[in-house]
Chain A
């Protein structure tokens, strides 16, 4: 024990205290020779004993740090170094004396560093989940949600990811994404049963756990093109709102690390968010598809010439989106040649979905009553009976107009049921009101109406409109009514114009009057006797017997 004695000689009292210190302590002189090693340090570094050289006895990082400290201006006297000792990480805290002797405190930092690393990973994952949620919830588009899910999973969880949607028949909608690549959509005809756990995951309920899959058992279609050999595969369900949203398959290449339990939990957290977003998007898509189907039936038809009578229509819905109004129009061509076509234009009381439903009901009922189209009054009485309801007094006002070509003019019968009477624009520019009035439909036990007969010479027009035009507020001061007088003036200037031009002209003037103001629905239908020349050469009986 002569070496220990020599150390005691250097500083006997201090040495005995150092030797008992709980942390490894090592003193080495300016030449790199070890002067003192306490018990803890000796246990940690078995080769270190007084007199030994640092470069022989301690790990390289510590020896290098010591050398650096001896050369002035090269090392920072107080900086902490760290490096591995066996399988742990130590920090070396140096205290430099004037003579160049350095006292090294060695502190085991393994757990601290592990905790720091875990915190960093956790922060990274939280940030990733936050980003995933933002991306997923910012869109209610199913395709986009699926693509984002596949892309993010491939980027952060695996080398490649597959999002599998519930099967459609015997086809399985897939979105595949390789790390760094773009998502690819396909719908191969494959059996979900061929991947262990996939069929269960696709059922969504009851929730099933993430499944490890033996790579050699998976079928070809699971491996994306150019992926190579799979090392590990995990199948995670994408839970929806009680409905299956799909499943997520994560793939790692052969040779790369498998999934740790932590990563598996994390994959499920991600899957829960992605599944919720995809289910919400799918529900939304279903709803908007239903709305589309219903709305298609409610949209006004495109109008054109029917049996030698010109029809044109225009509809400008209220911009107040919560208050979709109930203006509507239809043209029903005559069933038999030479019989009149029936035009219906109406306005349903109230707004929104209820008004839309009543509109649909009226249009359907009138369609069914078409065989009675000759008798407007009877049609209105039957419609009133069909709509009369003890729960509400929601009503409709409408105009029925039958129009048939007679020679070069058009004979019309118009009947108002509580609606502003149609206006007739003569070739001279004179505007007349059709002499018809009647009661509104759907709220009173008895209805009555008077029908007016009128003739349109070529170039003359009958205008059916809803009060969305006349009640429009706007003008220079922003609050004046458009009014019937102004409408008559505009129409008077339209004398002789084709039907479509009149619709456009009236809509344009009303739009200018409104400016940016709020307005109700505005619907207009124009029935015109075209300016034509009779073609005697084709006998006046077949299609195209008039020139426009």
Chain B
């Protein structure tokens, strides 16, 4: 567990071999959205076996257009790394922003290969957890 410093956005990350969970507290906006992108990019390179990236949004304050742009970039990066992105505990304000901008589906859907993996059954999942 590590805490990454930021003036208005505090990130708390919990890592396992195949999952990373980052709790977001504060504003995801023009001034500090890049902190989140950096943190996620670092996790993606540091964990080559990463399967799931969870972003805990319960403590999220204001999200502006730059913040949303960063979420879209994170989605693009996780797709490229075959990692499932999970936006969890979304606030009503975040839900509203994702709905108005039509990005809800894109940001919350499972990537095609991850969906296939889930449907492939519990066998592979069990194999993952044994490692």
| Residues of A in contact with B (beta carbons under 8 Å apart) | 323, 347-351, 392-395, 397, 417-420, 437-440, 443-444, 447-449
Q: Please name all residues of chain B whose beta carbon is closer than 8 Å to the beta carbon of A350 when the two chains form the complex.
A: 30, 65-66, 69
Q: Is B68 an interface residue (CB 8 A)?
A: yes
Interface of A is mostly: loop
| Residues of B in contact with A (beta carbons under 8 Å apart) | 30, 65-66, 68-70, 72-73, 76, 99-103, 106
The docked-state distance in angstroms from the alpha carbon of A488 to that of B82 is: 44
Contact A395 B69 (CB under 8 A): yes
Most buried by A among B30, B65, B70, B76: B65
Q: Which of A347, A392, A394, A439 contacts B103 (CB 8 A)?
A: A439
Chain A's nearest CB lies how many Å from the CB of B46?
A: 22
Q: Please name all residues of chain B whose beta carbon is closer than 8 Å to the beta carbon of A438 when the two chains form the complex.
A: 102
Contact A448 B102 (CB under 8 A): yes
Contact A418 B66 (CB under 8 A): no
The docked-state distance in angstroms from the alpha carbon of A440 to that of B73 is: 14
Contact B72 A347 (CB under 8 A): no
Tally of contacts, chain A with chain B, CB under 8 A: 59
Q: Which of B30, B65, B66, B102 contacts A439 (CB 8 A)?
A: B102
Given the interface pairs A418-B102, A437-B100, the reply to whether A444 lies near B72 with Cβ below 8 Å is: yes
Contact B102 A437 (CB under 8 A): yes
Q: Please name all residues of chain A whose beta carbon is closer than 8 Å to the beta carbon of B102 when the two chains form the complex.
A: 417-418, 437-440, 447-449
The docked-state distance in angstroms from the alpha carbon of A419 to that of B102 is: 9
Contact B103 A440 (CB under 8 A): yes
- The residue of chain B having its C-beta at the shortest distance from the C-beta of A444 within the complex is B106
Contact A393 B100 (CB under 8 A): no
Given the interface pairs A350-B30, A351-B30, A444-B106, the reply to whether A439 lies near B101 with Cβ below 8 Å is: yes
Given the interface pairs A350-B69, A443-B69, the reply to whether A323 lies near B30 with Cβ below 8 Å is: yes
Chain A's nearest CB lies how many Å from the CB of B85?
A: 13
Contact B69 A418 (CB under 8 A): no
Q: Please name all residues of chain A whose beta carbon is closer than 8 Å to the beta carbon of B68 when the two chains form the complex.
A: 349, 395, 440
- The residue of chain A having its C-beta at the shortest distance from the C-beta of B37 within the complex is A393
- The residue of chain B having its C-beta at the shortest distance from the C-beta of A450 within the complex is B102
Q: Which of A349, A419, A437 contacts B69 (CB 8 A)?
A: A349
Q: Please name all residues of chain A whose beta carbon is closer than 8 Å to the beta carbon of B106 when the two chains form the complex.
A: 439, 444
Q: Please name all residues of chain B whose beta carbon is closer than 8 Å to the beta carbon of A394 when the two chains form the complex.
A: 69
The docked-state distance in angstroms from the alpha carbon of A444 to that of B72 is: 8
Q: Please name all residues of chain B whose beta carbon is closer than 8 Å to the beta carbon of A397 when the two chains form the complex.
A: 65, 100-101
Contact B69 A393 (CB under 8 A): yes
Q: Please name all residues of chain A whose beta carbon is closer than 8 Å to the beta carbon of B103 when the two chains form the complex.
A: 418, 439-440, 443-444
Chain B's nearest CB lies how many Å from the CB of A472?
A: 13
Contact A392 B69 (CB under 8 A): yes
Most buried by B among A347, A395, A444: A444
The docked-state distance in angstroms from the alpha carbon of A439 to that of B103 is: 6
The docked-state distance in angstroms from the alpha carbon of A444 to that of B69 is: 10
Q: Please name all residues of chain A whose beta carbon is closer than 8 Å to the beta carbon of B69 when the two chains form the complex.
A: 349-350, 392-395, 443
Q: Which of A392, A419, A449 contacts B73 (CB 8 A)?
A: A392
Q: Assuming A440-B101, A448-B102, what are 4 further A-B pairs, CB within 8 angstroms?
A: A350-B66, A395-B68, A440-B103, A444-B103
- The residue of chain B having its C-beta at the shortest distance from the C-beta of A449 within the complex is B102
The docked-state distance in angstroms from the alpha carbon of A350 to that of B64 is: 9
